C-alpha cells in the first residue's frame, strides 16, 4: 500500500521548497531505493510544466570507482557536471542508499583528492543558490540502512522522517510557513549581535558575527528543516570545542572530536575514532580548517540523534558548526571543497552568550 506521505513530500518539495515553474530544467539526483519519491517528484515537476532530468545512482558504483581510480581519474571533472551546474534552474537531492557505511574503508587521501577536484563546481553551485539563479533542496527517503543507523525499525523511522517534515498534517506547507514566521523573530534578534560564545563541557568557543546575515531555514533548501545560521567572520573563531555526538561525513564516522581554534583556524584536531580521516579532510585545502557556518537547531520535533546530519543538525536546542565552505547568502567568505557540519549537543550544561549575555541555556532560547 502506497504511503500518502510520499506523495505529500513530493508536492511540498516541488511546489514549496523548489517553487518549480513552467519550462524550468529540474534535476532529480537520487539513490535507486528512493524510486517511489523520484516518481512522485517527477509527476509534480511535469504537472508544473517543467523539464525533468533524473540522475539515479546504483549501489556500489561510487565505491568501485573511488577504490580503483588513479589520481588522474580522481581529478577528472565531467563536462556534463559543469554544464548542469551552470544551466539547471532547480535541483533535488534525495538521499537514501543501501549502505551508509560503504565508504568506511576507502583511502581518506583519495577522498580528499576527489573533494579538491570538485571544489570549483561546488563553489559555483553554492554561489548560484545564494544569488537565486538555482533552487536546490536536499531530503531523506527512509530506508532500512538509515533506520538501522538510527536504531529504529523501518516503520518507526518512516514516522520519524515524515513527522519531522510535518507530513502528517493535512497542509504541511501552512505548517512550515508558521515555522518561518516564528524563526524570523529569532533572526531579527540574532542580527543585532556582534559576538557569539558557546560554553559547556570541554567547550569554550567564541565567534564574531557582526555584519553577517542570519538565514531563516524554513524548508526551502533542506527538508525537513529547522535551523538558523550565519557565516562567522573567518578569522574570529577562538577557543576549543568537544563534540559528544559523532561527526559524520561522506559515510565515514568520527567519534569524540576535539578541535582547538586560533585566529579562526583549526590548529589541533583529535578524535577517538577516525582521527586520520578527520585530519585528511581538514587538509583538503586552506579553507577546510576554517569555520564556514555557525547555526542553531530549531526543530523541536527532532529530539534524538540518528547519525544523519540532515536531521541531527536540526535537533531543537543544539548548535552546529560547519568546517569549510561558507554559504554565500550569509555573507561568509570562506571557500573550500568541503562543508562538514558537526553537531554540538548544547541541551544540557551549556550556555550560549550573545554580546556577553546569556541567550540560550540548556537548549532553550531566551527569545524563541
* Strand 90-95 relative to strand 135-140, pairing: parallel
349: number of Cβ within 10 Å = 12
Q: What is the mean pLDDT of each run of 10 residues along the chain (368 residues)?
A: 89 98 98 97 98 96 95 96 97 94 90 93 94 97 96 97 95 96 96 98 98 97 97 98 93 94 98 96 95 97 95 97 95 95 97 98 87
DSSP-derived letter for residue 16 is: I
Cα–Cα distance for residue pair 41/93, rounded to 1 Å: 11
Which homologous superfamily does the CATH classification assign to the domain defined by 4-164? Thermophilic metalloprotease (M29) (3.40.1830.10)
Give this prediction's pTM. 0.91
Cα–Cα distance for residue pair 125/85, rounded to 1 Å: 6
pLDDT at 134: 98
Cα–Cα distance for residue pair 335/267, rounded to 1 Å: 18
pLDDT at 250: 82
41: number of Cβ within 10 Å = 28
Among the listed residues 285, 284, 260, 283, the one whose alpha carbon sits nearest the alpha carbon of residue 270: 260
* Strand 51-57 relative to strand 25-31, pairing: parallel
Residues of each domain in the chain carrying CATH 3.40.1830.10:
4-164
Cα–Cα distance for residue pair 106/252, rounded to 1 Å: 9
Q: At what angle do helices 154-164 and 4-11 cross, to 10 degrees?
A: 30
pLDDT digits (tens, 9 = 90+) for 201-228: 999 999 999 999 999 999 999 999 999 9
* Bridge partner residues of 188 (DSSP): none
pLDDT at 177: 96
- Structure-block grid coordinates of residue 357: 549575555
- Structure-block grid coordinates of residue 85: 551546474
pLDDT digits (tens, 9 = 90+) for 186-202: 999 999 999 999 999 99
pLDDT at 367: 73
Decide if 76 contacts 12 (C-beta within 8 A): no
Among the listed residues 334, 289, 340, 341, the one whose alpha carbon sits nearest the alpha carbon of residue 123: 334
Decide if 221 contacts 129 (C-beta within 8 A): yes
Amino acid at each position: 500500500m502506497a504511503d500518502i506521505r510520499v506523495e505529500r513530500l513530493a508536492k511540498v518539495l516541488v511546489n514549496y521548497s523548489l517553487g518549480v515553474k513552467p519550462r524550468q530544467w529540474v534535476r532529480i539526483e537520487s539513490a535507486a531505493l528512493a524510486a517511489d519519491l523520484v516518481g512522485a517528484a517527477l509527476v509534480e515537476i511535469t504537472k508544473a510544466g517543467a523539464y525533468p532530468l533524473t540522475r539515479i545512482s546504483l549501489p556500489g558504483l561510487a565505491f568501485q570507482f573511488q577504490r580503483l581510480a588513479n589520481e588522474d581519474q580522481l581529478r577528472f571533472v565531467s563536462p556534463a557536471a559543469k554544464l548542469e551546474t551552470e544551466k539547471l534552474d532547480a535541483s533535488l537531492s534525495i538521499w537514501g542508499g543501501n549502505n551508509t557505511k560503504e565508504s568506511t574503508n576507502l583511502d581518506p587521501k583519495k577522498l580528499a583528492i576527489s573533494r579538491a577536484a570538485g571544489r570549483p563546481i561546488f563553489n559555483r553551485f553554492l554561489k548560484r543558490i545564494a544569488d537565486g539563479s538555482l533552487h536546490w533542496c536536499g531530503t531523506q527517503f527512509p530506508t532500512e540502512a538509515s533506520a538501522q543507523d538510527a536504531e529504529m525499525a523501518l516503520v518507526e523511522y518512516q514516522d520519524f522522517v515524515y513527522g519531522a517534515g510535518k507530513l502528517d498534517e493535512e497542509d504541511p506547507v501552512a505548517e512550515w510557513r508558521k515555522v518561518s514566521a516564528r524563526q524570523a523573530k529569532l533572526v531579527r534578534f540574532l542580527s543585532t549581535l556582534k559576538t557569539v560564545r558557546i560554553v559547556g563541557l570541554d567547550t569554550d568557543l567564541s565567534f564574531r558575527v557582526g555584519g553577517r546575515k542570519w538565514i531563516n531555514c524554513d524548508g526551502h533548501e533542506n527538508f525537513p528543516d529547522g535551523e538558523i545560521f550565519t557565516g562567522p567572520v573567518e578569522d574570529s573563531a577562538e577557543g576549543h570545542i568537544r563534540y559528544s555526538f559523532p561527526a559524520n561525513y561522506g559515510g565515514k564516522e568520527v567519534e569524540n572530536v576535539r578541535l582547538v581554534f586560533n585566529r579562526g583556524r583549526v590548529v589541533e584536531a583529535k578524535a577517538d575514532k577516525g582521527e586520520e580521516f578527520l585530519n585528511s579532510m581538514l587538509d583538503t585545502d586552506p579553507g577546510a580548517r576554517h569555520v564556514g557556518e555557525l547555526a542553531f537547531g530549531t526543530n523541536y520535533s527532532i529530539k534524538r540523534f540518528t547519525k544523519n546530519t540532515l536531521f541531527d543538525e536540526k535537533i531543537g536546542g543544539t548548535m552546529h558548526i560547519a568546517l569549510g565552505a561558507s554559504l554565500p547568502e550569509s555573507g561568509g567568505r570562506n571557500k573550500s571543497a568541503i562543508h562538514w557540519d558537526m553537531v554540538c549537543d548544547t541541551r544540557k550544561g551549556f550556555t550560549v552568550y550573545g554580546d556577553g549575555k546569556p541567550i540560550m541555556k540548556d537548549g532553550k532560547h531566551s527569545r524563541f
